[in-house]
Amino acid sequence: KRIVMGLSIAQRKALAIVPKVTGVLSMTGSGLIMYDILPNRKKRKKTYFRIMCAMSIFDFVTSFMYALSTWPIPAESGVLYASGTEGTCIFQGFFIQLSLAAPLYNLSLAIYYLLFITYQWKERELKKLERFLHPAIMVIAFGIAIAGLPLRLYNNSNVWCWIAPDATDPNRGDNANFYRFALFYVELWLIIITVTILMSAVVLTIVRTEMKSAKYSMSKLSLSRQVFIQSVSYVSIFYLSWTFPTTLRILQTIGTPVPYAIFLCAVIFTPLQGFFNSLVYLKKEGFPFLMPSLGRLARTTVLKRTVEKGESQHGTSSMGGDDGEQKAEVEGFENA
């Protein structure tokens, strides 16, 4: 069914404009995570950071597609702000379908936390498993997205292009509802169930650790809590991002009218996973990517003051003493 039926112009505008805002926010968050990890050799050597970076790359791409919203939809469709062609619609639909990679990386994170917290795997053991995770995710995500191309599934779905029937061409999007489940929601729900089971095991481990806390050092317990809170935060974001699309799809399947609020929440929260992930990531990591630039700027300012003072006092007897103090000031700042 076309969701535009029965909606006011203001409601249609909200469904078209909101993803542009939330998509850009998510792109910014995912971009910050990538900017922190990619230039850092130490972080690139760690399994956790590589998983986060890969997930952020996919989040960035799909968030960009969400941010395009109705623009790539064929202009003749009559959808608000639509200005694209069949080709742009297929392009957007393909990469939105590729968003399945992000839940797969959420599953990878859940596996990582289970092995790290519950089974206390070392980094070298995690790396051996990671060698299989990335290729498996690429094969699954790209394979399913590519499968939609010869089936001609990517069409106008009103808020963006994805798997949908084409009202203007009966040969496009045939059995779209079936393929939405077969190529996306079945996989998504299996991932959600699996992540829930894995994280339940992690929670059980933490509870048992807390009960035996007298046998553990405070530092170890504190680290365990930090990792646990971080893992639960990522999973909560994952649930939040997909709760409303899942609810929407279930209501449509059983033939129940979908409230407009569900549609609106779906276009708000579905693109936002990258943004929320960045809040959790940066809370743990801080903003180290800003510090080198700020440090260089401050050191440059101090050095410039040093040179200016030195030039103004050139030839005086106090120059040597001032230089020593100024040098100490710079060195002290660099070491701070």
What pLDDT score does 226 carry? 72
* Cα atoms in the 13 Å half-sphere on the side-chain side of 321: 3
The dihedral over CA atoms of 89, 90, 91, 92, expressed in degrees to the nearest 10, equals 50
What pLDDT score does 2 carry? 45
Side chain identity at residue 220, one-letter code: K
Its pTM stands at 0.80
The SS3 of residue 233 is helix
Q: How many Å apart are CA 317 and CA 25, to the nearest integer?
A: 58
Positions in the chain short of pLDDT 50: 1-3, 218-219, 221, 288-299, 301-302, 315-336
Parallel, antiparallel, or unpaired: how do β-strands 154-156 and 161-163 relate? antiparallel
Q: How many Å apart are CA 49 and CA 36, to the nearest integer?
A: 10
Phi, psi of 162, deg, nearest 5? -160, -160
**CA distances (Å), 69 to each of 183, 261, 298, in order?**
21, 18, 42
Token pair of 129, please?
């498993």
Residue 122 contacts residue 206 (beta carbons within 8 Å): no
166-200 residues labelled b (16+ CB within 10 A) or e (exposed): beeeeebbeebeebbeebbbebbbebbeebeebbe
